[in-house]
Amino acid sequence: MESKWGKPIMELEKKKGGDSLIQLPRFRGTRNRVSSRGVISVFDFGAKGDGIQNDTKAFKDAWKAACSLPSKSTIKVPAGRTFLVGPIDFGGPCQSKVTLKISGTIIAPQDPDAWDGLNQQKWLYFHNIGYLTVQGGGTINGMGQEWWSRSCKINRTNPCQHAPTAISFHRCKNLKVRNIMTINSQQMHIAFTYCHRVMASHLKVIAPVGSPNTDGIHISASTNIQVKDCVIGTGDDCISIVSNTSRVHVKSISCGPGHGISIGSLGKSRSCDNVYDVLVDGAFISNTENGLRIKTWQGGCGSARNITFQNVLMENVSNPIIIDQFYCDSRTPCQNQTLAVQVESVSFIGIEGTSATEEAIKFACSDNSPCHGIYLDDIQLLSYSGEPTRAFCWQAWGSSSGIVSPPPCFSCRESFIKQKVISTAIHRTISR
């Protein structure tokens, strides 16, 4: 007798010695899909991996199973296959540590209409997770081309609206993101918001130079963040650090094309933002619109302080070193305002290479809240075309040491000893 699946309900097989082996049908429940080591494959939950059929539910079910296990678990996204996944919520808290091992390729729906009725700011959204590792050598492709074509920055007749961040981590702790490539995000590629103790390493983030708002790594309202050994080239900031973030260490970064490594923007819409204890140590920045930048809107409050940029090589970079307290990314001109985010105790040490613009150093600071404690040491920025470079200062107070080219233009020379103490303190604070 056969079942409706066309297989015997019971099979008799002769064994040596004349005994028979009875094989009963197997029903694969959730427990059977999880190995003794807590390893789960998205294929166990119905994923097709053909890049055409929608695998969102399989990913949701695999996450639910892994997150509910009492011991550590691993979700496998196998290599050699492409998984079409729509907007998805990977929510915690989980019972134990979870690893998402992405070895294959995850792609987003090409049509923005797939987000109708959903949050258009998120695609792969991880939140409220205590211990999470995302790794595996695979690729996450946001398929952002249609989103870009609808952007008001590409076509000014279009209304300005949100587009999804490819990978969002919100309120996550003890987070590791490593050995992943993200390409062509709809908007930002990877964002950390309200996260604590994060290690992001060996990431490759790629999008065309003309893709709007496609920041590589965006850090907001987070603490104890390390970003190292990453290659980033997009249409916006390689790394952006904003609003109420502290203790950030960025090391060994290749950046370009894009808008460079930025603190800010801060203070938009009169917000009060604080960013402090940031160390950028070791970077190669090439063919970008900016190099090392701090940008704030007029009318805001808060501060950007205790920030060090050091050991950076630049090639054909516009605005290699820039502090801009008059930042305005608006369709209409921004009105002059007296309030400003305070910028103080900022060091640029060991910065060399070539500038694509005559103004290699620009400090445009607020009349009412001038920049204080800017320190330059061992700066050699030559023109990419062979022409001499120059520095511009407005309400910028600081000091310098060693060779500084172009020569500094501070309003006043502040204490060299004070600056060295500040720079050393940042190193100690971040390395704790």
Within a 10 A sphere around the Cβ of 112, how many other Cβ atoms? 19
Q: Which of 170, 189, 259, 372 is catalytic?
A: 259
CA separation for the pair 164, 123 (Å, rounded): 6
Q: From residue 241, give the alpha-carbon distance in Å to each of 69, 264, 294, 345, 357.
A: 35, 6, 9, 17, 25
| Catalytic status, residue 259 | yes
**Is the separation of the CB atoms in 145 and 169 below 8 Å?**
no
Q: Pick from 345, 375, 377, 198: which is nearest to 278 by CA?
A: 345
Catalytic residues: 259
